[in-house]
């Protein structure tokens, strides 16, 4: 598969501003940090959750608990795919019961990952609230799912791909748009 | 970030273990086994939750074909399948179906009409699971074939060692002692294959009648007829079940003699490394091949072995089923 | 009333060979069931062209399981003798482990009569050594011999009782019958399904040690020496067993022995595939045993190739390795297999292989050596040593349409076998190219 770069959507500063805004909104809507938890979806949702937690700590003085969620065992396409996804550990080191959980991920696309993440979380207990934060919403939903916090809305075509790079995983911060196939 | 018209070649995701079946451990590489253990960690997490179920294998059907009775192993596999939401069909055939004149192949073809994606097979004859792969497109997991192999038992034994040995730093340099009826033991054969592949040394111990000298030809395997020599410096000591009918085949003079020379006891564990684990694949003849007090003691991980059976088998099913379409 | 002229046949451009050597290319004439001569010319009723092929006396197999009566789903006289002819065999000694057992002169007579009607390979039945192969009571050898039995044997079941073996040999010696033995000590071989050794221990399959064979061969040779009976040791599989025979022969024991095509070409490594097709008794041994057997053949220690052709149904062999029966079909591939593996590779001279299929087994039985001399029976086979073709068990005349050598490309396939001057087998040309 060949990817042809089309546009740079966010740089390091823009990503930082978007996450700061989301952190403020979460605190505001949650009326503080009580029982607040941030759970990142593997892979890039994890540093996003950690960064938002750091930001909240900076303005509120209290760091919400964080967790990592691997949704592989909840994917709805495991009977169809040709390549086996590696299953990773889920690390949610707190009891989810009664918590206000914000699921964090890099890109919201079809909504299937969010659906799987919701099921995975619910199987761990009964949170009071689950909300959803994403760095980029690119549209094309296949399930009735929406994000509560969005860093940037990006209209895309289905033939395009959004790649999010984060320092912790990729060594740099950037969001870019690519076209599948094509090329000059 | 640079965006200067370069095209990026996206590499294909790494393939999972290429083994289509789990018949024995010869075809599985050390890295595939380590990957399986990583998946087992995740499965063990699932089994620690209140809701011990994930939808991963929804839409897959697992068939258990037990030509030889083994309720414990069958239940462990069925739990592993259901905990991942697979459908399970069970077939139990005693020797009776063979006396009805149906061939192994015809028996399988009948069941295969129900279109399972994977079969878990237990048979009294070595090679039966291997033979079934000739006649079905489904994946096959060997749940014990004669004296040949019992790969999931060896995997759960090694996984138990990895997770329970205090200060585990890898299998390289580890020393496993297996004591008892090696001749008739599929558990011994699979553990020899697995532990040596992972870099460990294996010492086999038993009376000459139950310890074929050919095992010494296997790399990193040594033989001894003395338990104290076997346990010397061992990180783990495994006692094998002694079938009582062995007394009839002139393989042993008496149970008392076996007990006095080959029972794994607290005393024999004194030669082992501090923190050495005591293991038994079950079912156990308490105070025959293993001293009861040792089996119940702090170094015993026999219950953990049983508990690890489900996550290990969950990982095996996941690995063989997902991503193979 | 005029007597019809005896049918006359010619095999043109026949490259004539037998154990005595190469007799050049000539037209071989047969008349009325005997060899008439070469290059005679004149009118003929049947004519074959053997250009490029070898023409040699049809082979003699001292050891085949034709399964009739009682095992007709595996093989019967018609399919078994057709398979033999397809393998270049003109005469077959059939084993007695049928159901009912061939321990009754009426059964022998019925088999002989039926085989004559079939007009395929000649049948020379063996009869049971003990009544019902039960190892307790001697069968009635004199009556069985009168009915047509040429050998006595409990083949398939070793004779455990040494006293019974002694008495059987004494009786048989008196009648001039050959006693063939399946020499394996059942108490030592136990439930073994394969050779006991490194492979059996690794695969966890119950093993049958070579010593189980060697011990029983020694007993049988001692009894032969003691009684003077002509004892023929069937299907020797191991170096230990062969060494015992060599020693006993040197001691003057009146023993002969045979090896099978499978023990000369396969070793216990085949069990990696867990295919019960390889389950035979005695078992396929270690590579060193195979090498020793080939060497023994080359040194002239071995008297005959016996096929131990032992057909079973595919379903019986589609069982697990413990329940599957012992035995494999091989009579149709025996010559091309041994020719390709041993002669074409330069391991054995062609004359040695022919000797083990012709004069060797004849001498074991005290029969005339088959040759192409004038006046000898017109039992000849034509062997295509030029064209290579794969083993295709689907085309077997035997009912057992599977083969351990399936797909192996061989030379030396028989294309025509005449028995008493009549066509017992003619290979239908495969699809034109």
| Exposed/middle/buried for residue A60 (C-beta within 10 Å: 0-12, 13-18, 19+) | middle
Tell if the CB–CB gap between B50 and A172 is shorter than 8 Å.
Answer: no
* Boundary (domain end) residue, out of B119, B149, B179: B149
pLDDT tens by residue, B189-208: 999 999 999 999 999 999 99
- 3-state class of B142 per DSSP? strand
A–C touching, 3+ CB–CB pairs within 8 Å: no
Same structural domain, C126 and C169 = yes
The one-digit pLDDT tens for each residue of chain C (433 residues) are 455 678 999 999 999 998 788 999 999 999 999 999 999 999 999 999 999 999 999 999 999 999 999 999 999 999 999 999 999 999 999 999 999 999 999 999 999 999 999 999 999 999 999 999 999 999 999 999 999 999 999 999 999 999 999 999 999 999 999 999 999 999 999 999 999 999 999 999 999 999 999 999 999 999 999 999 999 999 999 999 999 999 999 999 999 999 999 999 999 999 999 999 999 999 999 999 999 999 999 999 999 999 999 999 999 999 999 999 999 999 999 999 999 999 999 999 999 999 999 999 999 999 999 999 999 999 999 999 999 999 999 999 999 999 999 999 999 999 999 999 999 999 986 543 3
Do C204 and B146 count as a contact with CB atoms less than 8 A apart?
yes
Same domain, C307 and C207: yes
For residue C121, which of C339, C380, C368 has the smallest C-alpha distance?
A: C380
The rounded radius of gyration (Å) of the Cα atoms in chain A is: 16
Return d(Cα C267, Cα C278) in angstroms, integer: 9
Q: Do A73 and B46 touch (CB under 8 A)?
A: yes
Shared domain check, B140 and B186: no
- What pLDDT shows up at residue A3? 86
Identify the H or E element spanning B144. strand B139-145
Residue C138 lies in a domain: yes
For residue B217, the chain C residues in CB contact (below 8 A) are: 198
C2 within domain boundaries? no
Q: Are residues B161 and B73 in the same domain?
A: no
Determine, yes or no, domain membership for C141: yes
Q: Are residues B71 and B162 in the same domain?
A: no
In three state form, how does the secondary structure of A101-124 look? Answer: EEEEEEEECCCHHHHHHHHHHHCC
Q: Is residue C259 part of a domain?
A: yes
Cα C48 from Cα C33, distance rounded (Å): 16
Q: How far is C196 from chain B (nearest CA, A)?
A: 10
Angle at C81 between CA C76 and CA C87, to 5 degrees: 130
Q: How many domains does chain C contain in total?
A: 2
The CA-to-CA distance between both ends of chain B, in Å, stands at 37
**Distance (Å, rounded) from C-alpha C108 to C-alpha B297?**
72
Closest CA to B300 of B279, B283, B286, B281: B279
The whole domain housing B104 covers 53-149
Quote the number of domains for chain B: 2
Residues B179 and B298 in one domain: yes
Residue A27, domain member (yes or no): yes
Residues in chain C whose Cβ is within 8 Å of chain B: 197-198, 201-206, 271, 273-276, 315-316, 318-323
How large a percentage of chain B has pLDDT more than 90?
A: 78
C397 and C323 both lie in a single domain: no
Residue from the list A3, A79, A85 with its beta carbon closest to the beta carbon of B60: A79
- Chain B residues close to A70, C-beta within 8 Å: 42
The CATH number assigned to the domain holding C32 equals 2.30.40.10
> Above 0.95 for ipTM, yes or no?
no
* Contact yes or no for B7 and A3 at CB 8 A: yes
Q: Note whether A3 contacts B45, CB cutoff 8 Å.
A: no
For residue B19, the model assigns a pLDDT of 39
Cis amide leading into C257 (omega within 30): no
Burial of C91: CB neighbours in 10 Å, binned 0-12, 13-18, 19+ = buried
Residues whose CB is less than 8 angstroms from the CB of residue A74 and which lie 6 or more positions away in sequence, other chains included: A116, A117, A119, A120, B54, B55, B56
On chain C, the residues whose CB falls within 8 A of the CB of B149 are 204
Which residue, chain included where needed, has tokens 């697979």? B86
* Residues C226, C140 within the same domain: yes
B126 contacts C321? CB cut-off 8 A? yes
Q: Which of B61, B191, B185, B63 is nearest to B132 (CA)?
A: B63
For residue C316, list chain B residues with Cβ-Cβ distance below 8 A: 103
- Does residue C3 form part of some domain? no
> Helix, strand, or coil here: B81?
helix
Distance CA B53, CA B85 (A): 7
* Burial (0-12, 13-18, 19+ Cβ within 10 Å), C20: middle
Measured in degrees and rounded to the nearest 5, phi and psi for residue C239 equal -60, -45
Rounded average pLDDT over A164-176: 96
Q: What is the pLDDT of residues B105-138, one digit of tens each?
A: 888 888 888 889 999 999 999 999 999 999 999 9
A18: in domain: yes
**Backbone conformation region of residue A181, classed left if phi is above 0, alpha if psi is from -120 to 50, else beta:** left
**Do the domain assignments include residue C370?**
no
Report which of C298, C230, C209, C316 is spatially closest to residue C259, judged by C-alpha positions.
C298
> Are C321 and B125 in contact (CB < 8 Å)?
yes
Tell me: do B133 and B177 sit in the same domain. no
Rounded CA separation B314/B62 (Å): 12
Closest CA–CA distance from residue B8 to any residue of chain A (Å): 6
B139 and B223 both lie in a single domain: no
Please check whether residue B9 lies inside any domain of the structure.
no
Task: Provide the chain A residues 12-51 that lie in CB contact (below 8 A) with chain B.
Answer: none
Tens digits of per-residue pLDDT, A105-151? Answer: 999 999 999 999 999 999 999 999 999 999 999 999 999 999 999 99
Residue C254 belongs to a domain: yes
pLDDT for C4: 64
Give first-to-last CA distance, chain C, whole Å.
50
Note whether B224 and B302 are same-domain residues.
yes
**Which H/E stretch holds residue B258?**
helix B255-262
* B167 and B132 in a common domain: no
Q: Which domain holds residue A145?
A: 12-156
What was the pLDDT predicted at B8? Answer: 36
- Residue B26 corresponds to which tokens in the numbers above? 């010869």
> Catalytic site residue C155?
no
Q: Beta strand pairing status for C207-208 and C304-305?
A: unpaired
Model pTM score: 0.90
Q: Return the CATH number at B155.
A: 3.40.50.1370
C359: containing domain: 58-365
Torsions phi, psi for C95 (to 5 deg): -85, 160
- Do the domain assignments include residue B12? no
User: Which residue in C308, C318, C379, C392 is the catalytic one?
Assistant: C308
Domain count for chain A? 1
Closest C-chain CA to B193: C202
Q: Which pLDDT band holds residue A181 (cuts at 50, 70, 90)?
A: confident
The verdict on C33 and C62 lying in the same domain is no
Are the beta carbons of B8 and A178 separated by less than 8 Å? yes
The chain B residue lying nearest A81, using CA atoms, is B323
- Are residue C133 and residue C275 in the same domain, yes or no? yes
Average confidence (pLDDT) over B251-278: 93
Place of tokens 């089996």: B295
What pLDDT score was predicted for residue C40?
A: 94
- Compute the nearest-CA separation of B126 from chain C (Å): 6
């Amino acid at each position: 598969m060949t990817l042809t770069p089309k546009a740079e959507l966010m740089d390091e500063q823009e990503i930082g501003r978007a996450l700061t805004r989301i952190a403020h909104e979460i605190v505001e809507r949650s009326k503080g940090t009580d029982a607040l938890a941030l759970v990142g979806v593997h892979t890039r949702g994890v540093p996003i959750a950690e960064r938002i937690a750091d930001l909240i700590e900076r303005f509120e003085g209290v760091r919400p608990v964080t967790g990592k969620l691997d949704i592989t065992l909840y994917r709805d396409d495991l009977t169809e795919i040709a390549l086996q996804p590696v299953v990773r550990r889920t690390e949610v080191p707190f009891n989810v019961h009664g918590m206000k959980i914000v699921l964090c991920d890099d890109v919201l696309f079809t909504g299937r990952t969010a659906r799987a993440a919701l099921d995975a979380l619910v199987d761990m207990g009964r949170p009071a609230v689950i909300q959803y934060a994403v760095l980029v919403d690119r549209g094309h939903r296949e399930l009735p799912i929406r994000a509560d916090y969005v860093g940037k809305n990006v209209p895309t075509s289905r033939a395009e791909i959004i790649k999010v790079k984060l320092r912790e995983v990729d060594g740099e911060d950037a969001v870019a748009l690519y076209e599948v196939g094509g090329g000059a | 970030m640079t965006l200067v018209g370069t095209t990026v070649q996206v590499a294909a995701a790494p393939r999972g273990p290429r083994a289509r079946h789990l018949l024995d451990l010869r075809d599985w590489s050390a890295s595939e086994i380590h990957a399986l253990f990583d998946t087992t960690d995740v499965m063990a997490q699932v089994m620690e939750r209140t809701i011990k179920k994930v939808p991963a294998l929804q839409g897959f059907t697992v068939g258990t074909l037990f030509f030889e009775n083994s309720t414990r192993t069958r239940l462990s596999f069925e739990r592993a399948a259901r905990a991942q939401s697979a459908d399970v069909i069970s077939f139990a055939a005693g020797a009776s179906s063979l006396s009805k004149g149906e061939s192994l192949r015809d028996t399988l073809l009948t069941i295969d009409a129900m279109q399972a994606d994977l079969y878990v097979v237990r048979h009294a004859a070595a090679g039966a699971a291997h033979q079934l792969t000739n006649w079905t497109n489904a994946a096959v997991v060997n749940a014990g074939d004669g004296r040949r192999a019992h790969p999931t038992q060896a995997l759960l034994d090694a996984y138990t060692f990895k997770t329970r040995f205090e200060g585990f730093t890898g299998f390289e340099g580890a020393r496993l002692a297996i004591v008892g009826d090696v001749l008739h033991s599929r558990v011994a054969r699979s553990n020899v294959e697995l532990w040596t592949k992972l870099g460990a040394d294996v010492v086999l111990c038993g009376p000459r009648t139950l310890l074929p000298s050919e095992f010494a030809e296997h790399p990193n395997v040594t033989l001894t007829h003395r338990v104290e020599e076997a346990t010397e410096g061992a990180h783990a000591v495994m006692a094998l079940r002694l079938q009582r009918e062995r007394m009839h085949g002139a393989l042993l003079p008496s149970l008392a003699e076996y007990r006095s020379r080959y029972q794994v006891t607290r005393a024999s564990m004194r030669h082992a490394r501090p923190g050495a684990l005591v293991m038994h694949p079950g079912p156990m003849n308490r105070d025959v091949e293993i001293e009861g007090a040792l089996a119940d003691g702090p170094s015993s991980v026999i219950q953990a072995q049983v508990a690890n059976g489900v996550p290990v088998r969950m990982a095996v099913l996941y690995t063989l089923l997902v991503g193979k379409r | 009333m005029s007597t019809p002229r005896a049918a006359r046949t010619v095999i043109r451009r026949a490259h004539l060979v037998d154990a005595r050597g190469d007799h050049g290319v000539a037209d071989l004439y047969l008349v009325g069931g005997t060899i008439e001569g070469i290059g005679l010319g004149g009118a003929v009723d049947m004519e074959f062209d053997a250009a490029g092929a070898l023409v040699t006396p049809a082979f003699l197999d001292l050891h085949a399981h034709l399964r009739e009566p009682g095992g007709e789903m595996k093989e019967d006289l018609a399919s078994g003798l057709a398979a033999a002819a397809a393998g270049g065999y003109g005469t077959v000694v059939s084993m007695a482990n049928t159901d009912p057992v061939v321990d009754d002169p009426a059964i022998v007579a019925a088999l002989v009569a039926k085989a004559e009607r079939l007009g395929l390979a000649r049948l020379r039945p063996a009869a049971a050594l003990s009544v019902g192969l039960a190892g307790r009571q001697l069968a009635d050898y004199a009556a069985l011999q009168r009915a047509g039995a040429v050998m006595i044997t409990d083949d398939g079941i070793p004779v455990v009782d040494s006293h019974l073996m002694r008495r059987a040999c004494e009786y048989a010696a008196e009648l001039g019958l050959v006693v063939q033995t399946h020499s394996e000590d059942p108490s030592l071989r136990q439930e073994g399904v394969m050779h006991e050794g490194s492979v059996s221990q690794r695969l966890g399959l119950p093993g049958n040690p070579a010593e189980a064979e060697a011990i029983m061969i020694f007993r049988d040779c001692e009894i032969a020496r003691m009684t003077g009976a002509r004892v023929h040791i069937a299907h020797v599989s191991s170096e230990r067993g062969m060494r015992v025979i060599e020693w006993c022969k040197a001691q003057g024991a009146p023993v002969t022995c045979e090896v099978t095509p499978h023990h000369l070409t396969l070793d216990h490594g085949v069990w990696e595939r867990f295919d019960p097709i390889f389950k035979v008794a005695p078992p396929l041994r270690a590579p060193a045993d195979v090498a020793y057997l080939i060497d023994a053949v080359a040194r002239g220690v071995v008297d005959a190739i016996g096929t131990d052709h032992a057909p079973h149904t595919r379903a019986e062999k589609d069982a697990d390795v413990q329940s599957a029966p012992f035995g494999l079909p091989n009579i149709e591939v025996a010559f091309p297999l041994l020719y390709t593996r041993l002669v074409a590779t330069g391991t054995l001279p062609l004359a040695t292989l022919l000797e083990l299929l012709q004069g060797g087994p004849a001498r074991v039985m005290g029969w005339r050596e088959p040759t192409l001399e004038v006046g000898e029976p017109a039992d000849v086979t034509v062997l295509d040593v030029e064209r290579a073709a794969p083993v295709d068990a689907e085309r077997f005349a035997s009912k057992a349409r599977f083969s351990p050598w399936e797909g192996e490309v061989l030379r030396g396939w028989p294309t025509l076998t005449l028995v008493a001057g009549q066509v017992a087998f003619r290979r239908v040309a495969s699809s034109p190219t």
